[in-house]
Protein backbone atom coordinates (compact mmCIF):
# COMPACT_ATOMS: atom_id res chain seq x y z
CA UNK A 1 0.00 0.00 0.00
CA UNK A 2 1.36 3.40 -0.97
CA UNK A 3 1.11 6.10 1.68
CA UNK A 4 1.34 9.62 0.26
CA UNK A 5 3.42 12.43 1.69
CA UNK A 6 1.38 14.97 3.64
CA UNK A 7 1.15 18.70 3.13
CA UNK A 8 2.62 20.98 5.78
CA UNK A 9 0.19 21.28 8.70
CA UNK A 10 0.46 24.51 10.67
CA UNK A 11 -3.06 24.76 12.09
CA UNK A 12 -2.36 22.47 15.05
CA UNK A 13 -4.51 19.60 13.81
CA UNK A 14 -3.17 16.08 13.78
CA UNK A 15 -4.20 13.83 10.93
CA UNK A 16 -2.37 11.60 8.51
CA UNK A 17 1.18 12.85 8.68
CA UNK A 18 4.04 11.60 6.55
CA UNK A 19 6.67 14.23 5.80
CA UNK A 20 10.35 14.51 5.07
CA UNK A 21 11.79 18.01 5.20
CA UNK A 22 15.09 19.84 5.14
CA UNK A 23 14.65 23.33 6.58
CA UNK A 24 16.82 26.27 7.48
CA UNK A 25 15.59 27.57 10.83
CA UNK A 26 16.48 30.38 13.20
CA UNK A 27 18.64 29.33 16.13
CA UNK A 28 16.01 30.82 18.46
CA UNK A 29 13.33 28.48 17.08
CA UNK A 30 12.04 25.60 19.18
CA UNK A 31 13.20 22.31 17.69
CA UNK A 32 9.82 21.32 16.20
CA UNK A 33 8.51 24.77 15.25
CA UNK A 34 7.08 25.42 11.80
CA UNK A 35 6.10 29.01 12.59
CA UNK A 36 6.76 31.43 9.75
CA UNK A 37 9.08 33.60 11.85
CA UNK A 38 11.16 30.52 12.80
CA UNK A 39 11.33 28.86 9.38
CA UNK A 40 13.87 30.78 7.31
CA UNK A 41 13.65 28.56 4.24
CA UNK A 42 12.50 25.15 3.12
CA UNK A 43 15.30 23.45 1.20
CA UNK A 44 13.50 20.18 0.42
CA UNK A 45 10.20 18.51 1.22
CA UNK A 46 8.24 15.54 -0.01
CA UNK A 47 4.99 16.75 -1.58
CA UNK A 48 1.69 14.81 -1.58
CA UNK A 49 2.04 13.92 -5.29
CA UNK A 50 5.67 12.75 -5.04
CA UNK A 51 6.45 9.08 -5.64
CA UNK A 52 6.88 6.95 -2.53
CA UNK A 53 10.45 6.11 -3.56
CA UNK A 54 13.06 8.58 -4.79
CA UNK A 55 16.49 7.79 -6.14
CA UNK A 56 19.40 9.74 -4.64
CA UNK A 57 19.72 13.24 -6.03
CA UNK A 58 21.73 16.38 -5.51
CA UNK A 59 19.98 19.32 -3.88
CA UNK A 60 21.61 22.75 -3.89
CA UNK A 61 20.47 25.84 -2.07
CA UNK A 62 21.84 29.40 -1.91
CA UNK A 63 22.45 30.45 1.70
CA UNK A 64 23.84 33.89 0.81
CA UNK A 65 20.77 35.79 2.17
CA UNK A 66 21.85 34.60 5.64
CA UNK A 67 25.57 35.38 5.25
CA UNK A 68 27.11 36.36 8.58
CA UNK A 69 24.22 34.89 10.57
CA UNK A 70 23.99 31.64 12.45
CA UNK A 71 21.18 29.33 11.38
CA UNK A 72 20.28 25.69 11.94
CA UNK A 73 19.96 23.07 9.23
CA UNK A 74 17.11 20.76 10.34
CA UNK A 75 16.36 17.37 8.76
CA UNK A 76 12.96 16.15 9.88
CA UNK A 77 10.87 13.04 9.43
CA UNK A 78 7.28 13.02 10.68
CA UNK A 79 5.36 9.80 10.25
CA UNK A 80 2.26 8.29 11.74
CA UNK A 81 1.49 6.22 8.62
CA UNK A 82 4.77 4.23 8.59
CA UNK A 83 7.21 3.13 7.69
CA UNK A 84 9.11 6.09 6.27
CA UNK A 85 12.83 5.73 5.71
CA UNK A 86 14.93 8.67 4.62
CA UNK A 87 18.57 9.62 4.61
CA UNK A 88 21.03 12.31 3.69
CA UNK A 89 24.75 12.13 3.09
CA UNK A 90 27.57 14.29 1.81
CA UNK A 91 26.27 17.61 3.14
CA UNK A 92 28.68 20.37 2.11
CA UNK A 93 28.75 24.10 2.49
CA UNK A 94 30.71 25.54 -0.42
CA UNK A 95 31.50 29.19 -1.02
CA UNK A 96 30.27 30.20 -4.44
CA UNK A 97 32.78 32.51 -6.10
CA UNK A 98 31.31 35.63 -7.63
- pLDDT tens figures, 56-82: 888 899 999 998 899 999 998 777 777
What mean pLDDT is predicted for residues 38-46? Answer: 90
42 within a domain of the structure (yes/no): yes
Cis peptide bond upstream of 83, omega within 30: yes
67 within a domain of the structure (yes/no): yes
Structural domains counted in the chain: 1
- In this prediction the pTM is 0.75
Percent with pLDDT over 90 in the chain: 27
Q: Give the range of the structural domain holding residue 58, as residue numbers without chain letter.
A: 18-79
CA pseudo-torsion sign 42, 91, 65, 67: positive
Residue from 68, 60, 72 nearest 96 by CA: 60
95 within a domain of the structure (yes/no): no
- With beta carbons less than 8 A apart as the criterion, state whether 39 and 10 touch: no
The per-residue pLDDT for 14 is 59
pLDDT at 9 exceeding the cut of 60: no
98 within a domain of the structure (yes/no): no
Residue 24's Cβ-count burial label (10 Å; 0-12, 13-18, 19+) is: middle
What mean pLDDT is predicted for residues 4-24? Answer: 67
Amino acid sequence: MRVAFSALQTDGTIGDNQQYRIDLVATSAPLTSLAKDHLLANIFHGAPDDPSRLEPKTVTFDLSPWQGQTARLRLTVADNQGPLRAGVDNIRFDRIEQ
